[in-house]
Structure 1
Amino acid sequence: MAGSNSYTIVEYFGGDDGYRCGYCKNDKGNFSHGMWSHSMTVQDYQDLIDRGWRRSGKYVYKPIMKKTCCPQYTIRCHALNFQPSKSHKKILKKMSKYISKGELPTAQADGEPMDSVCEEAGPREPTKVCQSDLKVVANADIKDEVPNCSAATEVQKNSVDSTAGSSENSQNDSTSVSEGGTDAKASKPGLGADPSRPPCRKAKDLRKERRLQKDQKRQHGAGISLAKPANTNQPKTLEEFISESLEDNSSDRLEVRLVRSNPPSQQFKASFDASYQVYKLYQMAIHKDPPDKPSESQFRRFLCDSPLEAEHPPDGPEMGYGSFHQQYWLDGRIVAVGVIDILPACVSSVYLYYHPDFTSLSLGSYSALREIAFTRKLQKQSTKLCYYYLGFYVHSCPKMRYKGQYRPADLLCPESYTWVSVEQCIPLLNNSRYARLNQDPDAGDSQAVKDVGRALVLHKRTVMPYIVYSCKFKGRSDTAEVQEYASLVGQDCAERILLYRS
């Protein structure tokens, strides 16, 4: 893979102090291990998120699952097998109506925003910053992300198929019969059904037949010959639903632009101010931030800075790997921005912010559907890239359960680091906030640390195994800290990542 000469360089902070939980509002109930990443390869980050880590800017953190008040389980969607639900289709239809007619929904959106809107509880702000000989890093103003969601789950109304057939008057002796009831008058003996008339059919079947005939006429008019009637039972793909929502004759045109945020592309630089202004409005309206809090520097640190090194391997996607912004341009202006990471096996959603004027369009859920479709597109260029990561699933917070609706989906077991389907996990999480999701007692951590001495450290610009470092500096008492760090990142990552030692 291109970029193989690059190293991931981190400083480990531990995880002893509690901080405010954005889910249950406990002031000291949230605990996580943290690292400041000076640089990171996409493969290392892929392996880290598959062990429960997640980034916020350049800060990488991992919840302490048994200790934190609201355990956060990494969740991924099998993008290739995803089929939109009724609620997802409603969101796409809502966007289609706005694009074609320019009318915003009057009521709050049915759909649930992405985790970028219902943000993760967020990491604590690092209390230690390196004064290394690599470079001086300013103290990261890591934002304490607070969930501020709309409805926790989309209300799905059961659509009742009304089969109101036309009531027919009997021609036999002018006798009327109430539908589904008894005779209004005593009926006289007759000869039975009139053999000259066609048999009665359900209105539902008649509607299906008329719809099929219309489809055949439309396709025939477009010059498409049909050898067989269309299979009406074949479900439409996500791409077909999205395409239908973007009609060519729409009054407002929606365009999704992918721009690299690190290193910043020319398109990113040209649209930076417009994107920042949307973020500022979003923070003030949705999170009630004062005008001076969502500063430009805070925006850069939180959503623009990334430790991920850009990589362009020959077997990777066209735009390469790394950190990007997906900008949603509607009628010539930015209305939403999805912050994503493109990694060897997945597209990872980092954050989503949008213009408050468009809250009713459920842009959080809409962007998730577009990002799933984007993942499917990338998979055609890079076969291993087939998952969509939605961040953390927090079952103890009802507002965060909506992520489980993007199915098929898996949760990461916090002990074996194996993936378990959401359907199997929910009964366990209904009984306990924290649970070992993989119920096989023999399933263990394949990356459990076997030899901490092989972990790489960086000291005074020199890379060496930890066993060499510990022999050179016998007076240092950091063995327990390095052991903890190695157990959290796993043996393979410990042997690739450079742990900075002052």
Structure 2
Amino acid sequence: MASVVEYKGLKAGYHCGYCDSEAGKVSHGMWAHSMTVWDYQDLIDRGWRRSGKYVYKPVMNQTCCPQYTIRCRSLQFQPSKSHKKVLKKMVKFLAKGEISKGNCEDEPMEPTMEDAVAGDVALINKLDIQCDLKTLQESLESEEKKKGRSAKKAESNELIQSQHTEEKLGTGEPSHSVEVHTVPKPGKGADLSKPPCRKAKEIRKERKRLKLMQQNPAGELEGFQAHPEPLFPPKAKSNQPKSLEDLIFESLPENASHKLEVRVVRSSPPSSQFKATMLESYQVYKRYQMVIHKHPPDKPTVSQFTRFLCSSPLKAENPPNGPDCGYGSFHQQYWLDGKIIAVGVVDILPHCVSSVYLYYDPDYSFLSLGVYSALREIAFTRQLHEKAPQLSYYYMGFYIHSCPKMKYKGHYRPSDLLCPETYVWVPIEQCLSSLENSKYCRFNQDPEAVDEGRSKEPDRLQVFYKKTTMPYGVYKKQQKDPSEEATVLQYASLVGQACSERMLLFRN
């Protein structure tokens, strides 16, 4: 089934949840009746992001707080000192029940989902209906040929097995191990490509033998045998720092004070595990909104929770070369001693895990759950990469350099920012100096570079009109409204040529 979207155009002059400007926000938006994970992957790589079924793209050179798409290269990620402190704090709490004194680490403070699309809430409420998808014709190929799987990992790579509970994908049940390929640690087996290490005594004898040979080159040297090896063995490698997985899955004592489980449950379409825990999950969300975002008790309603954090346009897919849990929208539930204390809302896409939102029980703020969950999601991305090699990035939503509370995302490195004009990824280190001088920046340093994915043949754009799929070249001949062409061409320029040919633009 092809993606079906309804473009809603430009919306300007509404409240910004980042700088609290009453009329500074500007964005384009569309309602996604349904969407393939491949199309959404392409859209977020062009600066789009979803909130529920509403998909929006900030107008970067006009909005008060430019929002740059940011991704972390999870395979190369190394936790910083502050990240390690958060992970060690969690281990101490689980093992001994210790609660660290003082302020918690810089806690990510995303605005509420409603603030992120504040001016569009009424529109979302109005559009929250199901269109009749049964009438759609499957006239388009919805996917490009998938890239070949990368070469298999060398058999010599070890499997590190954690001794404490981790996700059992797609079931909602805890398992007791997680497999992660890592580089063999020094000292584990001989390296046959190098000469064997030798003792200092043997090296001294070698030196003495050479000295005697220089003094008596033709004579016999008793007690010495020739050694073809070099005089000095290769230097031993320094101790490698602990990996992210080592820090997260550190072994706990049998009598540990607490037990933490992370369960991955599909939220759309809702799995049986999701349905069974939805009410408890909502109660955590309600407390989070009331305590952290100071909302009145009647505002965080079940319908609002469902609309923004449970509903998703993404279609579940389970291709043979994908992760065991499949692609689509999920909730990562953090269970502490049998109760939910936090939920990370994520989308699993062909090339990435995309973080949507996190909410948690305010009673556990001392655990820095915003930082902890981000580190767990990076480790989760690395785990999925083992089965789906093309999936290797962790998308953290938007990086807003002009908003101090949102700059923490730049601390997860190595990471890249998306150029808002050419849609190429640029290492964040190369972007920061420009952002210090201007809120809006083009990161691509090549002045001749253009958007390679731009709409070049708008007549090939696919339209869904009167229950029929047709190219825009055919559709426009039936239209007399001059504003219709401007709207469709604007949509095409924003989604790019590839998506415009695959997705169906619903026109009424």
- For the 8 Å contact 1:40–1:309, the answer to whether it is kept is yes
Rounded to whole Å, the distance in 1 between the matches of 2:31 and 2:62 is 22
From the superposition, tell whether residues 274 and 97 of structure 1 become closer, same or farther in structure 2 (CA, over 3 Å). same
Deviations 1:2-23, CA, capped at 9 Å, x for gaps: xxxx111111111132211111
Q: Given residue 134 of structure 1, which amino acid in structure 2 is its aligned partner?
A: C
Residue 427 (structure 2) aligned to one of 421, 431, 447 = 421
Query: Is the 2:16–2:118 Cα contact (8 Å) retained in structure 1?
Result: no
1:490 corresponds to: 496
Partners of 2:113 and 2:308 within 8 A in 1: no
For 1:88, the equivalent position in structure 2 comes to: 83
Give the structure 1 partner of residue 95 of structure 2: 100
2:388 corresponds to which of 382, 390, 396: 382
Given that residues 133 and 460 in structure 1 are in contact (C-alpha distance below 8 angstroms), is that contact kept between their aligned partners in structure 2?
Answer: no
CA RMSD of aligned residues (A): 2.3
The 3 A distance-change label for structure 1 pair 130 and 93 is closer
Residue 18 of structure 1 aligns to which amino acid in structure 2?
A: G
| 1:262 has 2:268 as partner | yes
- Residue from 235, 238, 244 that aligns with 2:244: 238
Figure out how many residues of one structure are paired with residues of the other and give that number. Answer: 410
The alignment partner of 2:474 has SS state of helix
| Higher deviation after alignment, 121-130 or 30-39 | 121-130
Residue 72 (1) aligns with residue 29 (2): no
Contact 1:91 1:111 in 2 (8 A): no
What does residue 441 of structure 2 align with?
435
Between 488-497 and 233-242, the greater mean CA deviation after superposition = 233-242
The residue matched to 1:276 in structure 2 has which SS?
A: helix
Does 2:330 match 1:335? no
Q: Kindly, what percent of the aligned residue pairs are identical?
A: 62
The answer as to 2:25 corresponding to 1:9 is no
Q: Secondary structure at the match of 2:434?
A: helix
**Relative to 1, partners in 2 of residues 1:449 and 1:256: Cα closer, same or farther, differing over 3 Å?**
same
Q: Deviations over 1:226-278 (max 9, x none)?
A: 87898553121100111127555421100000000001011101111111110
Matches within 5 A, 1:246-395: 246-395=252-401
Measured after TM superposition, the shift of residue 104 of structure 1 is: 2.6
C-alpha distance in 1 between matches for 2:57 and 2:236: 50
Structure 1: how far apart are the matches of 2:469 and 2:128? 18
What is the Cα deviation at residue 470 of structure 1?
0.9
1:27 to 2:22 alignment: yes
Compared CA separation, residues 244 and 257, structure 1 to 2 (3 A):
same
Residue aligned with 1:445, SS? coil
With the length of structure 1 as denominator, give the TM-score of the two structures: 0.78
Matched, 1:54 2:25: no
Name the CA shift for 1:68/1:51 in 2 (closer, same or farther; >3 Å). same
Distance in 2 (alpha carbons) for counterparts of 1:435 and 1:120:
24
Residue 447 (structure 1) shift: 1.0
Tell which deviates more after alignment, 123-132 or 467-476: 123-132
Q: In structure 1, list runs of 5 or more residues that go unmatched.
A: 1-5, 137-223
- Report the CA distance shift for 1:464/1:84 in structure 2 as closer, same or farther (over 3 A): same
- Which amino acid in 2 is paired with 1:75? I
Give, in angstroms, the shift of residue 105 of structure 1.
Answer: 2.7
1:472 is displaced (CA, Å) by: 2.1
C-alpha distance in structure 2 between counterparts of 1:133 and 1:410, whole Å:
36
8 Å CA contact 2:33, 2:130 repeated in 1: no
The 1-side partners of 2:334 and 2:442 are apart by 39
Residues 132 and 461 of structure 1, relative CA distance in 2, 3 Å threshold = farther
Confirm or deny: 8 A CA contact 2:12 2:24 kept in the other structure.
no
Q: Quote the residue 1:452 is aligned against.
A: 458
Kept in 2, the 8 Å contact 1:54–1:62? The answer is: yes
Q: Which stretch of structure 1 is more off in the superposition, 241-250 or 317-326?
A: 241-250
> 1:126, 1:13 → 2: CA distance?
13
Letter in 2 for 1:486: A
CA contact (8 A) 2:112 2:293 kept: no
Q: Give CA-to-partner distance per residue, 1:184-243, whole Å, 9 cap, x none.
A: xxxxxxxxxxxxxxxxxxxxxxxxxxxxxxxxxxxxxxxx98878985531211001111
Q: What SS class does the counterpart of residue 235 from structure 1 fall into?
A: coil
Correspondences of 1:140-289 after superposition (within 5 Å) = 231-244=237-250, 246-289=252-295
Change (3 A) 1:117 1:33: closer
Secondary structure of residue in 2 paired with 1:15:
strand
The alpha-carbon deviation at position 349 of structure 1 amounts to: 0.2
Q: Is the CA contact 2:108–2:405 (under 8 Å) kept in the aligned structure 1?
A: no
Cα distance change on mapping 1:317 and 1:116 into 2, 3 Å:
farther
Give, in whole Å, the separation in 1 of the partners of 2:483 and 2:19.
37
Shift of 1:134: 2.7
Segment of structure 1 superposing worse, 473-482 or 81-90: 473-482
Q: Which runs of 5+ in 2 are unaligned?
A: 134-186, 191-196, 198-234
Residues 500 and 49 of structure 1: CA distance in aligned 2, closer, same or farther (over 3 Å): same
Deviation at 1:453, TM superposition (A): 1.3
Q: Secondary structure at the match of 1:450?
A: coil
The AA in structure 1 aligned to 2:348 is: I
**Partner Cα distance (2:127, 2:483) in 1:** 18
